[in-house]
Structure 1
């Protein structure tokens, strides 16, 4: 959007006054709503994106399907206990976002068959209905922070599923979290499953074998904000590590107990287990003694000249990153990025880790193509006693690399190099 939206109370006033006729986006976050204003339905011929997050809603009206163009609905941070069944009757709904509600029940009829992106992170859901399998367009399934013990068998019919987040649930075994039907999906590339009962031992073992050095909060002087990811904010900082000037570092402070990818402690365990590599953002230690008890990591400061290769996926792109308009890469830079990420993945797999989130938005690059992979929020430990699922998790990372290679080919200014990258992508995806 070229301009920031008006303040929520102003938007609500304008809606009630009939001043928003013809709008395609409506932001009603934090308006104290206990029911959907009836004026919303009057926007049926144009409204496509509706954000109701941060209100006091517990249900949605039967009139909602009259919004026949509605394709995106956010209703996070509301006290819903049941995913509204009326959603399944909305004819164009592609994205449903009910994060951090109080949902325990997902009715069979609540899942629209047009669904591409389902966000149910941080709820209390124990089971999902078999009607999930009728959502043929489904590409992203966000379920971290629930109470799931199994997935419906019908997930095998979600043939377009590319990203799934299963961390911080109640899966007793890896086979429960990654059943055969899920492993068989041909496009699955981004998978997170840490923080479940079956993975606790591996994470604890990693923490004991590669403990994070404690770095006192008092020794860190925070500077400006460098960036923000799904799990936390990253700040520039100086670490008073026995030198008068201080060592430039980056400090990642986690946002909360549950993120869209999983648990902070799982990410910290994976970061320490990853070890050092020329194409990984290095970890120096963990924050100790934060005044609010916020968990955090101290990272090596990225050299000047590096920037994120892309922005995260948009509502339209769903599972694909968004590159800057007009971005072109020289052949040497494109090849260097691809080679660096292949090397980083190979290293992680040798360390017993799957990254789970190899995306361009998690890669920092300079103009020469020197690339650094970060953000271990979706990382998980490879099983030592399940060769089938170990191979599958490696294969998912390789598919993610194939997507990146294909995207690099599209950005490359040399036809021969672009062809070589596409050939490599086809081999990786096979």
Structure 2
């Protein structure tokens, strides 16, 4: 994090990224001194409510973060920034998104956790739009012009006021990661599964070291004292209350429970009961430390694509085992009326033998289990996510894959990613084909 004193003293000359979070109420004019080099500007965590009309003087600015500020309108000056591709205004007070605020090269727009009721039709006139994050607003509809955004891959509209998904949305050729939980349109979670989940008293848990923290909660290693006096090592996830980019953490908890048992899903032992502050949480299977994330999160440059380590390579046996396990887990989820919504390498844990677990249900949504065109489309949107994952695995196989196997897998990848949503295979067919290999 940089300081205002450094900026005013000229110590930051030549930098390409500036991070300022120091209670700012006005845009520091000294930022314009960096116009020749500045590409990423992060002003999150301040008290700003406006930006200068001549922001376009920052001619190299590609990325702007202004989350956790006091904006009530997305600033119109953004639309004049010719190089700007990514805009993040999470957790402000925005009610108005003027068409003038949308830069021509817009690729990634984050407006999570605001008060937006409508979006301008001009949003659909941004052909590069790839990632659109709108969870936690007051939207009842999307502009029909978004049907023209054929590059749109990730859409988050959870925790809004949608009574139905627009039919054109389910036909978008590139849509891959869709989250819509917490809207009136969503099918209810399986209350029988929720009620059947054992309650685990907080007093029987002994928290040990923290294992990690995400947008939805904190995971810790713990000891669970069973009724027979024995102690079982477990993982405890305590959910946060605030909105995440995917939606409500409590919807994530319900999806984890409703998902049920599968060898490629993390097992839920029970729900926490009696937390002293009323915090919601789950007790889950403790994952062996030999497991690691398959990939890293997308970067500012990769946008909707995971980042893999340069040295990440697989044998054909391991890659096929990963593909079979994740396809089987996704088939199981769809049978329970759940789309994962975030089927990505960075949400997959694996060991050296290719044993893998699909985690992070933050983007999960419920849908009807009846076989309708809408259900088929929702499921096949997720099939595209698997096709992308399969391609990433194929690109990293070193040994053991015959020409015939590669041809068959590349054909499966193409079929999973074809632009006509309903002609993609379902996961039952995907699993069947993978098992023949």
Q: What TM-score bracket applies, with the shorter chain setting the length? A: over 0.9
- Find the aligned partners of 2:263 and 2:237 in 1 and give their Cα distance: 20
Contact 2:336 2:369 in 1 (8 A): no
The residue matched to 2:64 in structure 1 has which SS?
Answer: strand
Q: 2:110 maps to what in 1?
A: 119
The residue matched to 2:384 in structure 1 has which SS?
Answer: helix
- Shift, 1:115, TM fit: 1.0
Normalised TM-score (structure 1):
0.93
- Shift, 1:264, TM fit: 2.0
Pair 386,151 (structure 1): closer, same or farther in 2 beyond 3 Å? farther
Q: 2:67 maps to what in 1?
A: 76
Q: Structure 1: 5+ residue runs without aligned partners?
A: none
- Find the aligned partners of 1:290 and 1:26 in 2 and give their Cα distance: 41
Mean Cα deviation higher: 241-250 or 318-327: 241-250
- Shift, 1:349, TM fit: 1.0
- Find the aligned partners of 1:243 and 1:50 in 2 and give their Cα distance: 56
Contact 1:408 1:418 in 2 (8 A): no
- Find the aligned partners of 1:253 and 1:419 in 2 and give their Cα distance: 45
- Shift, 1:157, TM fit: 1.2
- Find the aligned partners of 1:170 and 1:162 in 2 and give their Cα distance: 22
- Shift, 1:340, TM fit: 0.4
Number of residues paired by the alignment? 414
1:183-210 Cα offsets, whole Å, 9 max, x none, are 22111110000111222x613xx13444
The residue matched to 1:413 in structure 2 has which SS?
Answer: strand
Normalised TM-score (structure 2):
0.91
Q: 2:322 maps to what in 1?
A: 337
Choose from 66, 71, 78 the match for 2:57: 66
Coordinate RMSD, CA, aligned: 1.6
Choose from 367, 376, 386 the match for 2:352: 367
Q: 1:26 maps to what in 2?
A: 18
- Shift, 1:246, TM fit: 1.5
Q: 2:343 maps to what in 1?
A: 358
Q: Does 1:202 align with 2:193?
A: no
Q: 2:170 maps to what in 1?
A: 183
Mean Cα deviation higher: 118-127 or 292-301: 292-301
- Find the aligned partners of 1:352 and 1:339 in 2 and give their Cα distance: 20
- Shift, 1:348, TM fit: 0.8
- Find the aligned partners of 2:408 and 2:230 in 1 and give their Cα distance: 47
The residue matched to 1:223 in structure 2 has which SS?
Answer: strand
Choose from 278, 285, 294 the match for 1:309: 294
Pair 36,225 (structure 1): closer, same or farther in 2 beyond 3 Å? same
Choose from 247, 260, 264 the match for 1:262: 247
The residue matched to 1:250 in structure 2 has which SS?
Answer: strand
Mean Cα deviation higher: 244-253 or 274-283: 244-253
Q: Does 1:426 align with 2:414?
A: yes
The residue matched to 2:237 in structure 1 has which SS?
Answer: strand
- Find the aligned partners of 2:202 and 2:118 in 1 and give their Cα distance: 41
- Shift, 1:420, TM fit: 4.0
Contact 1:311 1:322 in 2 (8 A): yes
Contact 2:43 2:67 in 1 (8 A): yes
Contact 2:335 2:369 in 1 (8 A): no
- Find the aligned partners of 1:357 and 1:366 in 2 and give their Cα distance: 20
Contact 1:227 1:235 in 2 (8 A): yes
Q: 1:217 maps to what in 2?
A: 202
- Find the aligned partners of 1:254 and 1:315 in 2 and give their Cα distance: 27
Q: 1:376 maps to what in 2?
A: 361
Q: Structure 2: 5+ residue runs without aligned partners?
A: 419-437
Pair 369,235 (structure 1): closer, same or farther in 2 beyond 3 Å? same
Pair 159,219 (structure 1): closer, same or farther in 2 beyond 3 Å? same
- Shift, 1:228, TM fit: 3.0
Equivalent positions of 1:239-258 (< 5 A) are 239-258=224-243
Equivalent positions of 1:82-97 (< 5 A) are 82-97=73-88
- Find the aligned partners of 1:363 and 1:169 in 2 and give their Cα distance: 28
Mean Cα deviation higher: 217-226 or 44-53: 217-226
Contact 1:207 1:272 in 2 (8 A): no
- Find the aligned partners of 2:368 and 2:102 in 1 and give their Cα distance: 33
- Shift, 1:384, TM fit: 4.8
Choose from 204, 217, 223 the match for 1:232: 217
The residue matched to 2:188 in structure 1 has which SS?
Answer: helix
